[in-house]
Chains A and B, each alone.
Chain A
Amino acid sequence: MDYDVLVVGSGIGGMESSIKLADMGYQVLLVEKEASVGGRMILLSKVFPTLDCASCISGPKMSTTINHPNIKTLAYSEVEQISRNADGRFNVRVREKAKFVDWAACTGCDVCQKECSVAVPDQFNAELAPRRAAYIAFPQAVPKKAVLDRAGTSPCIAACPAGIKAHGYVSLTRTGKYEEAFQLNLDATPLVGTLGRSCYAPCENGCTRGQVEGTVPIRMIKRFVADRHYAEADGPGVEAAAPTGKSVAIIGSGPAGVTAAWQLARQGHKVTIHEAKATAGGHLRHGIPAFRLPKDVVEADLANLDALGVEIICNSPVTDLQALKDSGYDAVIVATGASREAAWSVPGADGANVVSGLAFLKDAAASQADRLDGKRVVVVGGDVVAMNAARTALRLGASEATVVAEAAKPGALACNEVEYTEAAAEGVKVIFATAVAEIGAGSAATLRCVPASANAPAATEGEDGDSDETATDASAAPSAPASAVSSLEADVVISCPGLEVDETLFAELAGVGNKTRIAANRRSLQTKAKWLFAAGDAASGLSTITRAVGSGRRAAHMVDRFLAGKTLDGFELDSKLSTTKHREVLGRHNQITHRDPVTGQVSLVTKPTDFAEIEAPLTEDQAHTGSGACLDCGVCSECQECAKKCPAFAIDMSQRDKLTDVEVGAVVVSTGHKLFAADLKPEYGFGTYPNVITAMQMDRLLAPTRPFNTVLRPGDGKVPDRIAYISCTGSRDKTVGNPLCSKFCCMYSIKQNQLIMGALPLADVTMHYMDMRAAGKRYEEFYTQAQDMGAQYIKGRVAKITEEPNGDLLVRYEDIDNGGGIVEASYDLVVLAVGIQPNRDVEKLFGDTPLGLDEYYYVAEPSAELSPGQTNIPGVFVAGTSAGAKDIVDTILHAGAAVAQVAAHLEHHHFAAEEALV
């Protein structure tokens, strides 16, 4: 047996039970769901009738609970299930929730809270004010340790193949931390400006706000922070680790290659990129026209590499990988992309007026393409190269640009939908379901067209388009329609037969995998030559820029491990929690206010004449507003600010929930109560009028660790002069299903009355009550004392509260002691003395033998008079308000009774923890 007793819940009843049992020598396991022990009592201002500070009473017990040698406390943990064995012992499964903070290192300094970029309601302040996603429960928390509130991985992050923390940089932008947002992108890739323009934003497909009125403009926000950085900063502001003495060669300077180089250089490796072309950037520079991706943006991104000492050698084609390795590199990454055009065997394809799409775009990018003024251009192919070529042709003066595509419809094109719609908007004509069978000779060629075959290839791969996610395979079409034309006249034909990986470089050394890709392990990207890795399209086949970036990151990580002699298995590169569901996020809200979505403005004109960027940047206001629409799906945004600033390096995002099974001899249920949801009495206006609050909220306002600077009304921050209490809100009230008296509402109201008059000497306090129940030692005197201090007590129920234009509250009530008339009075603030309700979470604890409940769903005590604390399950006991309403004094007494029952049970059955017997 692991422990003698399990105590569930660390409120005053649970702490009292644990300490007493531990003092008796029993081994106690105390499980608390929050990050601190103490329950609700530690959050109170003072206690009645002594007006002792609640912290002064709770604090020592909390400390004892944590430090007692016979108590093992698991905070931020939950009991999942308890089952009783045949021998009377209990098997208990405990979930220790991931805190994402190494508590052994955390000093409770609260830096993480201050740096956090996410605000959520603070349950420890009765939701009167925000806390942060990174938080310490409250100032007197025991243990005083931080946790990160994570509800999963935000869908935007989960959707990003590059591993970029989209939620993080959106939340930083919202906070005005633009440079930090840029830096967070740099954690993944130097291509921030590029991705801010050319990524197809799978993050936005995942955005929960898209389920409401429109997605957060995540990509445009990335562009905003990149543009701002490049306009204001000199260099990336990133430092490399100390040199490792290792060197890596990367072949190709496209998105995969430069990302791999960036990551490896940050780790301290010496990196050299060999680029076959005269300039770096690969497809980013040569394949994407400037109107979509300005070259100065690519250059700014590539310049980030300079700061880390990455050498890019252009005009340096590699033909022998082994020789390259032998020239002094410890590892080599092939990141040559899908740079070869597929063969096109149509008769006439080698004609003088036929040019390749890639060559055409490369020349245009270098401003070396011939003008096409007045010429008719036909582009053959349906991928993004074809769309870019057609749009470029228009800008070079072509009188018309026609795309001949075998795809049957726009959705079947091997490009992203936006490429097609923008091309069409600029005047590109697309002829679907058509193949070119022959190209005639002559200065004006005649293209003979035929219907495309029903299984025309399409959409499995696209250039930088997200084709494998968004396009539809043409083969899925029931049949290809007949070609719309039989012939076309063209002055220039641009062939775009598709792109593929050129295998000649690696075929001999690494082997060829699927199609012409390099044969490499999909996870580690390592080839059979252990020092040779692959990244990007060379490994995956034609994909997107963003996927290539992700692949480059992965390859770099694997190479780094390889160079360090570590295994390439048994770890996750981007360990994520389960993705937060849209319905879960939306379900957290009572309502979500409509916001007009912020969208990018794309300037599309028919037959454009220049290569100016077509998409306008977001203004700062738009970036601010757009990022403000984020719903914080995963709660923590993973912005990493806490991790970067934590002086103890205690943030550990890799933590996961841990399940532990233990055996115990007895169980004490001390899960406490819940407070009545005051909005279920709509006539009192809670949740409708800001100046109607609950007594728990008032206790927080009165506590030394209060959320406001003093007692203020939440509607406008005014110090209230006239405060009304309404007793029995949600108790002794059959209309809300709770006929029971909660026993302590009268007394805590009187306590608060006195404290208010101490804190606000000029305030008038009035309590509207049904019956004054002060049946405890010195309780009646306490009541009299409040009256003597000036508090008014009016017998009679309140019928309704209405709000006046200035936020004051008009209370309509019955005044029984003065003739029973209906009276109205105006107050600044109304406090609802809410009753308690059973905590029905307790029902989930026991699997096989249900815990008995009474008719009001409190834990039943079958013989409460003779054996208080006993439940229907032998060995299971109850302490405190789990069994019904009790004030603090009675809760402690009840816990004592439960402890006695536990001890008797353990002794009777001779249960004892093995540790205790040793």
Chain B
Amino acid sequence: MSQVLRDPREVMREEMQMHAPILAAVADEPLTIPQIAEQLGAPASEVVYWVMGMRRYGFLAESKDADDDGFFTYAATGRQV
């Protein structure tokens, strides 16, 4: 993990910009936050902000249970950008 955390305000602002890349990332199958982060090449801590914003406003929904490693997966709900 060990990265310099960016200002949360800046990261959260980017959520609007990340909708399309994240929806593209989960288009084929639901992914965990670390998996989305890997696809985007972004820190997982920043992806948490984006995914939770998208979840809140109806773009993503989580799996019923977490996997064995403690991660939920997130899938597109069908709401378009």
A interface, CB within 8 angstroms of B: 113-114, 117-121, 127-130, 132, 171, 174-177, 588-593, 624, 627-628, 631-632, 687-691, 707-710, 712, 714-721, 803, 805-807
**Distance between A622 CB and nearest chain B CB, rounded to angstroms:** 13
Q: Quick one: which of B6, B16, B70 contacts A119, CB cutoff 8 A? A: B16
Contacts of B57 in A (CB 8 A): 113-114, 132
Q: Check A716/B45 contact, CB under 8 A, given A114-B58, A129-B53.
A: yes
Contacts of A689 in B (CB 8 A): 1, 5
Q: Quick one: which of A588, A721, A807 contacts B1, CB cutoff 8 A? A: A807
Q: Quick one: which of B5, B6, B33 contacts A717, CB cutoff 8 A? A: B33
Contacts of A129 in B (CB 8 A): 12, 49, 52-53, 56
Q: How far is the CA of A627 from the CA of B6 in the complex (A)?
A: 19
**Distance between A111 CB and nearest chain B CB, rounded to angstroms:** 11
Q: Quick one: which of A171, A632, A717 contacts B72, CB cutoff 8 A? A: A717
Q: Quick one: which of A120, A176, A588, A716 contacts B19, CB cutoff 8 A? A: A176
Q: Check A593/B15 contact, CB under 8 A, given A717-B48, A719-B66.
A: no
Q: Check A127/B8 contact, CB under 8 A, given A174-B17, A690-B1, A717-B33.
A: yes
Q: Check A717/B7 contact, CB under 8 A, given A117-B16, A119-B16, A805-B1.
A: no
- Kindly supply a per-residue 1/0 record for chain B positions 55-72, scoring 1 wherever the CB is within 8 Å of any chain A CB and 0 otherwise: 111100010001001111
> Are the CB atoms of A803 and B12 closer together than 8 Å?
no
Contacts of B17 in A (CB 8 A): 174-175, 624, 627-628
Q: List 9 A-B contacts (CB under 8 A).
A: A113-B57, A130-B15, A174-B17, A707-B56, A714-B48, A717-B51, A718-B71, A719-B70, A719-B71
Contacts of B15 in A (CB 8 A): 119, 130
> Are the CB atoms of B55 and A119 closer together than 8 Å?
no
Contacts of A712 in B (CB 8 A): 48, 72
Q: How far is the CA of A693 from the CA of B66 in the complex (A)?
A: 21
Minimum CB distance partner of B69 in chain A: A718
- Kindly supply a per-residue 1/0 record for chain B positions 5-34, scoring 1 wherever the CB is within 8 Å of any chain A CB and 0 otherwise: 111111011111101100000000000111
Minimum CB distance partner of A175 in chain B: B16
Q: Quick one: which of B8, B16, B51 contacts A121, CB cutoff 8 A? A: B8
Contacts of B14 in A (CB 8 A): 119, 628
> Are the CB atoms of A803 and B1 closer together than 8 Å?
yes
Contacts of B56 in A (CB 8 A): 129-130, 707
Q: How far is the CA of A490 from the CA of B19 in the complex (A)?
A: 60
Contacts of A114 in B (CB 8 A): 57-58
Contacts of B45 in A (CB 8 A): 690, 714-716
Instruction: Tell yes or no: B40 within 8 A of A by CB.
Output: no
Q: How far is the CA of A719 from the CA of B16 in the complex (A)?
A: 26
> Are the CB atoms of B44 and A716 closer together than 8 Å?
yes
Q: How far is the CA of A709 from the CA of B48 in the complex (A)?
A: 11
Contacts of B9 in A (CB 8 A): 120-121, 588-590
Contacts of B16 in A (CB 8 A): 117-119, 171, 174-175
Q: How far is the CA of A708 from the CA of B8 in the complex (A)?
A: 16
Contacts of A803 in B (CB 8 A): 1-2
Q: How far is the CA of A691 from the CA of B49 in the complex (A)?
A: 13
**Distance between A589 CB and nearest chain B CB, rounded to angstroms:** 5
**Distance between A110 CB and nearest chain B CB, rounded to angstroms:** 9
Contacts of B44 in A (CB 8 A): 715-717, 807
**Distance between B22 CB and nearest chain A CB, rounded to angstroms:** 11
Q: How far is the CA of A131 from the CA of B1 in the complex (A)?
A: 26
Contacts of A175 in B (CB 8 A): 16-17, 19, 81
Minimum CB distance partner of B51 in chain A: A717
Residue among A175, A177, A592 having the largest count of chain B Cβ atoms under 10 Å: A175
Q: Check A176/B81 contact, CB under 8 A, given A709-B55, A717-B72.
A: yes
Contacts of B7 in A (CB 8 A): 589-593
Contacts of B13 in A (CB 8 A): 118-120, 631-632
**Distance between B9 CB and nearest chain A CB, rounded to angstroms:** 6
Minimum CB distance partner of A118 in chain B: B16
Q: How far is the CA of A712 from the CA of B49 in the complex (A)?
A: 12
**Distance between A832 CB and nearest chain B CB, rounded to angstroms:** 16
Q: Quick one: which of A589, A710, A807 contacts B10, CB cutoff 8 A? A: A589
**Distance between A129 CB and nearest chain B CB, rounded to angstroms:** 4
Q: How far is the CA of A129 from the CA of B50 in the complex (A)?
A: 8
Contacts of B69 in A (CB 8 A): 718
Contacts of B49 in A (CB 8 A): 129-130
**Distance between A700 CB and nearest chain B CB, rounded to angstroms:** 11
Q: How far is the CA of A129 from the CA of B49 in the complex (A)?
A: 5
Q: How far is the CA of A805 from the CA of B3 in the complex (A)?
A: 10
Q: How far is the CA of A785 from the CA of B58 in the complex (A)?
A: 39
Q: How far is the CA of A114 from the CA of B62 in the complex (A)?
A: 19
Q: How far is the CA of A628 from the CA of B18 in the complex (A)?
A: 9
Contacts of B6 in A (CB 8 A): 591, 593
> Are the CB atoms of A119 and B1 closer together than 8 Å?
no
> Are the CB atoms of B20 and A708 closer together than 8 Å?
no
Q: Quick one: which of B52, B55, B71 contacts A128, CB cutoff 8 A? A: B52
> Are the CB atoms of A130 and B12 closer together than 8 Å?
yes
Minimum CB distance partner of B21 in chain A: A624
Contacts of B20 in A (CB 8 A): 176, 624
Minimum CB distance partner of B66 in chain A: A719
Q: How far is the CA of A687 from the CA of B9 in the complex (A)?
A: 12
Contacts of B12 in A (CB 8 A): 119-121, 129-130
Q: Check A806/B62 contact, CB under 8 A, given A121-B12, A588-B9, A592-B7.
A: no
Contacts of A691 in B (CB 8 A): 1
Contacts of A593 in B (CB 8 A): 6-7, 10
Closest 3 CB pairs of A and B: A717-B33, A807-B1, A690-B45
> Are the CB atoms of B52 and A721 closer together than 8 Å?
no
4 more A-B residue pairs beyond the given contacts A119-B53, A715-B48, A716-B45, with a C-beta to C-beta distance below 8 A: A175-B17, A690-B48, A717-B32, A720-B70
Minimum CB distance partner of A805 in chain B: B2
> Are the CB atoms of B53 and A716 closer together than 8 Å?
no
Contacts of B58 in A (CB 8 A): 114
**Distance between B24 CB and nearest chain A CB, rounded to angstroms:** 11
Minimum CB distance partner of B33 in chain A: A717
Contacts of A118 in B (CB 8 A): 13, 16
Minimum CB distance partner of B57 in chain A: A114
**Distance between B57 CB and nearest chain A CB, rounded to angstroms:** 5
**Distance between A661 CB and nearest chain B CB, rounded to angstroms:** 36
> Are the CB atoms of A687 and B5 closer together than 8 Å?
yes
Contacts of B55 in A (CB 8 A): 708-709
Q: How far is the CA of A114 from the CA of B44 in the complex (A)?
A: 24
Q: How far is the CA of A591 from the CA of B13 in the complex (A)?
A: 13
Contacts of A176 in B (CB 8 A): 19-20, 81
> Are the CB atoms of B1 and A806 closer together than 8 Å?
yes
Q: How far is the CA of A708 from the CA of B70 in the complex (A)?
A: 14
Q: How far is the CA of A592 from the CA of B10 in the complex (A)?
A: 7
Q: How far is the CA of A179 from the CA of B37 in the complex (A)?
A: 29
**Distance between A714 CB and nearest chain B CB, rounded to angstroms:** 5
**Distance between B74 CB and nearest chain A CB, rounded to angstroms:** 9
Minimum CB distance partner of A589 in chain B: B7
> Are the CB atoms of B1 and A708 closer together than 8 Å?
no
Minimum CB distance partner of A117 in chain B: B16
Q: Check A715/B1 contact, CB under 8 A, given A114-B58, A119-B13, A129-B53.
A: yes
Contacts of B1 in A (CB 8 A): 689-691, 715-716, 803, 805-807
**Distance between B76 CB and nearest chain A CB, rounded to angstroms:** 14
> Are the CB atoms of B52 and A707 closer together than 8 Å?
yes
Minimum CB distance partner of B44 in chain A: A716
Q: How far is the CA of A132 from the CA of B59 in the complex (A)?
A: 14
Contacts of B37 in A (CB 8 A): 716
Q: How far is the CA of A118 from the CA of B37 in the complex (A)?
A: 22
**Distance between B46 CB and nearest chain A CB, rounded to angstroms:** 9
Q: How far is the CA of A631 from the CA of B17 in the complex (A)?
A: 12
Contacts of B8 in A (CB 8 A): 121, 127
Q: Check A591/B71 contact, CB under 8 A, given A690-B1, A715-B45.
A: no
Q: How far is the CA of A708 from the CA of B49 in the complex (A)?
A: 10
**Distance between A805 CB and nearest chain B CB, rounded to angstroms:** 6
**Distance between B44 CB and nearest chain A CB, rounded to angstroms:** 4
**Distance between B7 CB and nearest chain A CB, rounded to angstroms:** 4
